[in-house]
Amino acid sequence: MPTADQSPLILVDGSSYLFRAYHVPYLQALSTADGQPTGAITGVLNMIRSLKKDYPNGNVVVVFDAKGKTFRNDMYAEYKANRPPMPDDLRSQIAPIHDIIAAMGLPLLVVEGVEADDVIGTLSHQATALGIETVISTGDKDMAQLVNPHVRLINTMTNVEMDEAAVIEKFGVRPDQIIDYLALVGDKVDNIPGVDKCGPKTAVKWLAKYPSLQEVMAHANEVKGKVGENLRSALAHLPLSYELATIKLDVELEQSVTELKPATADTETLRALYKKYELRRLLADLDKNSDSDEQDADAQDTAGQQNSPEVVAEYDIIRDQASFNTWLEKLNAAKLFAFDTETTSLDYMQAKLVGLSFCVEVGKAAYVPLAHDYADAPEQLDLDWVLAALKPLLESDSVLKVGQNLKYDANVLSHYGIAMQGIAFDTMLESYCLNSVATRHNMDALAEKYLGYKTVHFEDIAGKGAKQLTFNQIDIEKAGHYAAEDADITLRLHQAIYPQLAKIPSQLSVYNDIEIPLLPVLARMEQNGVLIDCDMLAQQSQTIATRLSELEIEAHNIAGKSFNLSSPKQLQVILFEELEIPVIKKTPKGAPSTAEEVLQELALDYPLPKVILENRGLSKLKSTYTDKLPLLVQPKTNRVHTSYHQAVTATGRLSSTDPNLQNIPIRSEEGRKIRLAFIAPPEHKIVAIDYSQIELRIMAHLSDDPGLVKAFSEGKDVHKATAAEIFAVPLDEVTSDQRRSAKAVNFGLIYGMSAFGLAKQLHVPRHTAQAYMDKYFERYPNVAKYMDDTRQQASDDGYVETLFGRRLYLPDIKAKNAMRKKAAERAAINAPMQGTAADIIKKAMLDVDAWIQQQNDDRIKMTMQVHDELIFEIHQDIVEETTAAIVEIMNNTVTMSVPLIAEAGVGDNWEQAH
């Protein structure tokens, strides 16, 4: 039985047929006895009927233009200005058509502000992304721009089908050149200006010589004769014509393509409507077929419940060349397939490939075991042979892949000489962009949330703990089911999540324009790794160890007994019970706190806290950094390779683990020394470039506060400027203490602070902190307004957004618990700033990486990202010009109402580079 996913999508351009049917002479004559014209109704309905006959499996969706102006009128007031208003006898037929289509149970879309073309473009674009075949039924030649291997046109009135080859035959240009063609030729009816005297022949001639409108325009001077002059004088308006001729692919729709499913026909309403409009043939059909029609509708409805976990799965385990070749052909023919690797380790640097799984069509997946090596493991296909056969496919840009965390698979495959391309979709990132906090984004959680399906867990087949097997030790049958299911589930998840994402253009663009392109960039950075001076760290560990034992003896002496300095619980007893030191603060669970700030304060009056503080700081440094980092050096590369996690944080930041390179010490003197061990290879320099005050600049931009914008635009020291405002003193009389307070206020604002929090931070009374804040909001009123608006938006919509439309949902914003609600409000204030900063540096990474790729010079490597900072290794011979170029790219990544400033440091190690 064919699954729902195979049924083609039939998009009907209702408006195009409406006009054409209206002008057909024999239809014009039709009307009801009381004079209501019905020719257009009949024409459109006949056409839908014939489509349903030609595509019995088809999922028919009908789209009409909405009344009123569209965005094209905003772009160009003259758009369609020559069109006469719609005749009344046509207008009166629209509502009946809509009613009848609705009663038939067909999805009907009428979207204001755009044309039917744009809705169709968007739906066909979504369908292509999901691997769904699409047929667009239209009489409009402009739609030829939408044709691709999976989208074709059918003119139902002439019965002419048009695929890519047919477009080339009819127009003489490829589908992707149709917009260029239309812009050059222009359109009298729609009032789109082209090039005078340039008709189809000339446009084709030009586009054969130069591949795009842009190129034609670039070479306008080479075109001779009168038409050449016309081309040159059209240069100014051609971009507009191009825009007007471009069908939108990202219209915001209430329902995504997979949600548009037929409902059961409302036979009674349909009968009444057919009677009313005297559509005798349709009425006769309805009575004749009423039973079977309803059955059809039911059958379609059931099939429409996609992603049902009940669908019988066919999982192949491929161990012979013939079956493999059959699958290879399937993959080659597919526009999109899901893909997963099975390996021996979660660590992409250590992982050895054990098998591969694929899925082209939901419910049908294959596992290719390659390196199962338990006793009695059956013979498997040769790993090198399989990889060689798959290499062209995996490296093809035009065969699209979907996976779950493909960065991992790409990293593993890179060690087998395969540079994956065509990474088009990643379900982990889809879920993350849709809602970063609704769920974790691992496959098990996604399958449960989006498919209601419990997957086989790795632990179910491998066991857990020290006895856990690695994948190569697992029985091929068990492993095959698990692995094939992973590929199958991945495709199902994609079909479930992507359409939801596609409904919101800004979220789709965060996915398509930031996260997906960032994936290979992060993979490259991870592969690059960073160079560590292990000897230096070992020496530091030695020094710290000596000091730690001194401190331990000292602490035991003061306490009068031996205890574990790193046990907060034992320390509590010593400090607050035995030494009877007063309790300053309690932990959330109610125990007396021994946190740093408490010990700092106690250190003024007692000797032990000071010793503990130094001990804690040093033991953290030793265990987390000086001892640990050398253990993480990969023998293969002699470098440390972190993992950047792209789907972890609520706000859009990256995170880093194994090791976390984003919390290497910098604040304390001893801590900073660890950065001395982050070194450059011979003849290279470490270059660190960070965005100065990026979050405050974003606050200035988002709030559009004149005072704050001015301070940044004039390149002032913004904390000093803030101090001058708060304390009402001239700029050059601001004391360092005032500047420090102002800085705390600025940071506090980014964190959604209260006067209480500020008071604690600054060690001033609450009313003093309140006075600072009042004064601040008085001097920067738009900041106050922005904060209020943000809180309001969070409360109204349940989410806040970054400048680029990345959303953070805040379910707690409606919490009954006041603490949680307040916390959600602070997160709401912080997220747009932290998140926009994350978006910006991600975009900068894309730009910088693209530039580095273009240089094609392996003396330039991007190695780390630390939220507002990028770190590079650059050869000493080119360090100056390369650094300048990267700074320039980072400064111009986005344009805001305040300048974005990147500052570079160069050195032999990370410490020097600061």
Partner DNA sequence: CGGGAGACGTA
Partner DNA sequence: GTACGTCTCCCGC
When binding is defined by CB under 7 A, the residue of 579, 826, 859, 908 that contacts DNA is: 826
Binding positions for DNA, 806-825, rule CB under 7 A: 823
Count Cα neighbours of 835 within 13 Å in the Cβ-side half-sphere: 26
Question: What are the residues facing 870 on neighbouring strands?
Answer: 689, 865
When binding is defined by CB under 7 A, the residue of 84, 465, 635, 682 that contacts DNA is: 465
- Residue 668 sits in the site that holds DNA (CB under 7 A): yes
Which of 165, 140, 162, 150 minimizes the C-alpha distance to 247?
140
Q: Please name the amino acid found at residue 21.
A: A
When binding is defined by CB under 7 A, the residue of 20, 150, 174, 653 that contacts DNA is: 653
Report the residue number, 175 or 752, with the smaller CB distance to DNA.
752
Q: How far is the CB of 178 from DNA (least distance, A)?
A: 45
- Residue 684 sits in the site that holds DNA (CB under 7 A): no
Dihedral sign, CA of 761, 762, 764, 765?
negative
Q: How far is the CB of 524 from DNA (least distance, A)?
A: 20
When binding is defined by CB under 7 A, the residue of 466, 604, 728, 818 that contacts DNA is: 466
| Contact stretch for DNA (CB under 7 A) within 140-148, 178-186, 538-546, 615-623 | 615-623
- Quote the tokens at residue 200: 């189809």
Count Cα neighbours of 729 within 13 Å in the Cβ-side half-sphere: 12
- Quote the tokens at residue 787: 């904060």
- Residue 350 sits in the site that holds DNA (CB under 7 A): no
- Residue 656 sits in the site that holds DNA (CB under 7 A): yes
Q: How far is the CB of 895 from DNA (least distance, A)?
A: 21
When binding is defined by CB under 7 A, the residue of 671, 706, 781, 805 that contacts DNA is: 671
| Cα torsion through 719, 724, 727, 728, rounded to 10 | -160
Binding positions for DNA, 843-882, rule CB under 7 A: 866-869
Residue with tokens 């395969």: 418
Count Cα neighbours of 303 within 13 Å in the Cβ-side half-sphere: 18
Report the residue number, 422 or 665, with the smaller CB distance to DNA.
665
Alpha-carbon distance of 279 to 42, in angstroms, equals: 7
Report the residue number, 258 or 594, with the smaller CB distance to DNA.
594
| Cα torsion through 820, 826, 830, 835, rounded to 10 | 20
**SS3 (DSSP) at 259:** helix
When binding is defined by CB under 7 A, the residue of 402, 621, 633, 886 that contacts DNA is: 621
When binding is defined by CB under 7 A, the residue of 663, 713, 855, 892 that contacts DNA is: 663
Q: How far is the CB of 670 from DNA (least distance, A)?
A: 9
For residue 348, what are the contacts with CB-CB under 8 A and spacing of at least 6? 408, 411, 412, 526, 641, 643
Q: How far are the Cα atoms of 136, 257, 906 from residue 10, in angstroms, in the given order? A: 6, 11, 59
Q: How far is the CB of 729 from DNA (least distance, A)?
A: 21
Binding positions for DNA, 5-44, rule CB under 7 A: none
Report the residue number, 380 or 643, with the smaller CB distance to DNA.
643
Name the region of 763 (left: φ>0; alpha: ψ -120 to 50; beta: rest). Answer: left
Residues composing the chain: 914
Alpha-carbon distance of 357 to 343, in angstroms, equals: 11
Report the residue number, 77 or 583, with the smaller CB distance to DNA.
583
Residues 157-196: x/- map of binding to DNA (CB under 7 A)? ----------------------------------------
| Contact stretch for DNA (CB under 7 A) within 65-73, 127-135, 508-516, 651-659 | 651-659
Report the residue number, 332 or 542, with the smaller CB distance to DNA.
542
When binding is defined by CB under 7 A, the residue of 372, 645, 673, 791 that contacts DNA is: 645
When binding is defined by CB under 7 A, the residue of 93, 431, 651, 722 that contacts DNA is: 651
48, 12 contact by CB (below 8 A): yes
Report the residue number, 403 or 748, with the smaller CB distance to DNA.
748
- Residue 304's H or E segment, with its range, is helix 280-304
Q: How far is the CB of 459 from DNA (least distance, A)?
A: 9
Report the residue number, 302 or 600, with the smaller CB distance to DNA.
600
Alpha-carbon distance of 421 to 399, in angstroms, equals: 8
- Residue 707 sits in the site that holds DNA (CB under 7 A): no
Report the residue number, 387 or 901, with the smaller CB distance to DNA.
901
Alpha-carbon distance of 703 to 788, in angstroms, equals: 11
Binding positions for DNA, 577-596, rule CB under 7 A: 587-589, 591, 593-596
DSSP 485-519: HHHHHHHHHHHHHHHHHHTSHHHHHHIIIIIHHHH
Q: How far is the CB of 871 from DNA (least distance, A)?
A: 11
Alpha-carbon distance of 290 to 739, in angstroms, equals: 81
Residue with tokens 């992982």: 351
CB neighbourhood size of 75 (10 A): 11
Q: Please name the amino acid found at residue 394.
A: L
Report the residue number, 399 or 699, with the smaller CB distance to DNA.
699
598, 584 contact by CB (below 8 A): yes
Report the residue number, 281 or 464, with the smaller CB distance to DNA.
464
- Residue 624 sits in the site that holds DNA (CB under 7 A): yes
551, 613 contact by CB (below 8 A): no
Report the residue number, 621 or 889, with the smaller CB distance to DNA.
621
Binding positions for DNA, 737-766, rule CB under 7 A: 744, 747-748, 751-754, 756-758, 760-761
Q: How far is the CB of 52 from DNA (least distance, A)?
A: 49
530, 686 contact by CB (below 8 A): no
Report the residue number, 375 or 818, with the smaller CB distance to DNA.
818
Q: How far is the CB of 614 from DNA (least distance, A)?
A: 10
Q: How far is the CB of 807 from DNA (least distance, A)?
A: 14
CB neighbourhood size of 662 (10 A): 17
Total residues contacting DNA by CB under 7 A comes to: 69
Which of 190, 161, 156, 166 minimizes the C-alpha distance to 24?
156
Q: How far is the CB of 612 from DNA (least distance, A)?
A: 8
Residue with tokens 């608006």: 789
Q: How far is the CB of 562 from DNA (least distance, A)?
A: 13
Binding positions for DNA, 275-314, rule CB under 7 A: none
Helices (H) and strands (E) in the chain, counts: 38, 24
Angle between the 88-104 and 39-54 helix axes, to the nearest 10 degrees?
Answer: 30
Binding positions for DNA, 595-614, rule CB under 7 A: 595-596, 599, 613
Alpha-carbon distance of 153 to 177, in angstroms, equals: 16
Binding positions for DNA, 55-74, rule CB under 7 A: none
Report the residue number, 71 or 747, with the smaller CB distance to DNA.
747
531, 630 contact by CB (below 8 A): no
Q: How far are the Cα atoms of 393, 472, 749, 899 from residue 700, in angstroms, in the given order? A: 48, 55, 12, 10
Q: How far is the CB of 568 from DNA (least distance, A)?
A: 4
Q: How far is the CB of 520 from DNA (least distance, A)?
A: 21
Report the residue number, 121 or 752, with the smaller CB distance to DNA.
752
429, 542 contact by CB (below 8 A): no
When binding is defined by CB under 7 A, the residue of 255, 350, 506, 649 that contacts DNA is: 649
Binding positions for DNA, 558-577, rule CB under 7 A: 564, 566-570
Alpha-carbon distance of 729 to 717, in angstroms, equals: 15
263, 105 contact by CB (below 8 A): yes
Count Cα neighbours of 612 within 13 Å in the Cβ-side half-sphere: 27
When binding is defined by CB under 7 A, the residue of 137, 834, 863, 882 that contacts DNA is: 834
Which residues contribute to the site for DNA (CB under 7 A)? Answer: 464-466, 564, 566-570, 587-589, 591, 593-596, 599, 613, 616-617, 619-621, 623-624, 628, 645, 648-651, 653, 655-660, 662-668, 671, 744, 747-748, 751-754, 756-758, 760-761, 823, 826-827, 830-831, 834, 866-869
